[in-house]
Amino acid sequence: MQNSDALGGKEIQDLQQLWQESAKNESINIKEQTMIKSMNPQLSNFEVEFGTGKKRTVLAYGLLTCIWAFDLIQDIRQNEGIYEIIFHAVALLFGASMLFFHFWVHRNTSHYDESSMQSYVEMNLWRTEQQLRLEHRVFPIAMAILFAFLTLDITADFSLWHTFLFGMMMTIIFIGIYAYRKGRVGDLLKPLRDKLQSALQQLNEH
């Protein structure tokens, strides 16, 4: 019986050794950066929610800038009138600024330290801040300026009714939007900042 027990003990030891060897040298390479991002779906989805600095946004503004540049050249060549020329010049300026802005954000975001979640979160937060600033401050005021020149252009070509119904109204609406939204960037960012801070805090607590 004792022999049998000793034999069983030896066998079990062999099995333990065999078991330890079963995953020995089997390599699993963990892609750390992808893993850390995938741990929090909120963070991995964060990137796709905003188009700021994305290649597709840069391309879209590049295309718009080209179209407006073409229109401006046509206006000048065909002598379409000063207001139309100014309108397209402002549009071109707007397009070129947007192109520059998105390209700048794109360059910055592609150079952050991808191995650090802190850096990843901070960069995305910064990008979102720029996006909101753009949507709530720059865009309404740029549109107001554009429509102001469009109003002047319409007045020259069409009736006073068109001016009131379309051009001036649109200018006023965008000025109103600007006035309403200019203080909201901080309010909109706060919950987002809190959410991301709690994700980081979770990491810090351990």
Partner 1 sequence: MTQTTDTKSTTAREAEFVRLLNNNKARVMRLCKAYTTSREDREDLFQEIAVQLWKALPTYRGEAQISTWLYRIALNVALRFSYDTKRRKPVSERISWIEETTPHPHDDATRERIEQLQRCIAALPEVDRSVMVLYLEECSYKEISEITGLTETNVGVKISRIKDKLLGCMRKDDGGAA
The site for partner 1 (CB under 8 A) is made up of 8, 11-12, 15-16, 18-32, 34-36, 38-39, 41, 44, 115-119, 200, 202-206
Identify residue 35 by its one-letter amino acid code. M
Contact by Cβ (8 Å): 167, 150: yes
Cα distances (angstroms) measured from residue 160 to each of 58, 80, 206: 38, 20, 68
Residue written as token pair 């004792």: 2
Residue whose CB is less far from partner 1, 30 or 77: 30
Identify residue 13 by its one-letter amino acid code. Q
Residue whose CB is less far from partner 1, 119 or 159: 119
Q: At closest approach, how far in Å is the CB of 62 from partner 1?
A: 32
Q: At closest approach, how far in Å is the CB of 16 from partner 1?
A: 5
Residue written as token pair 């937060």: 125
Residue whose CB is less far from partner 1, 32 or 49: 32
Q: At closest approach, how far in Å is the CB of 195 from partner 1?
A: 16
Residue 37's Cβ-side half-sphere holds a number of Cα atoms within 13 Å equal to 15
Residue whose CB is less far from partner 1, 154 or 196: 196
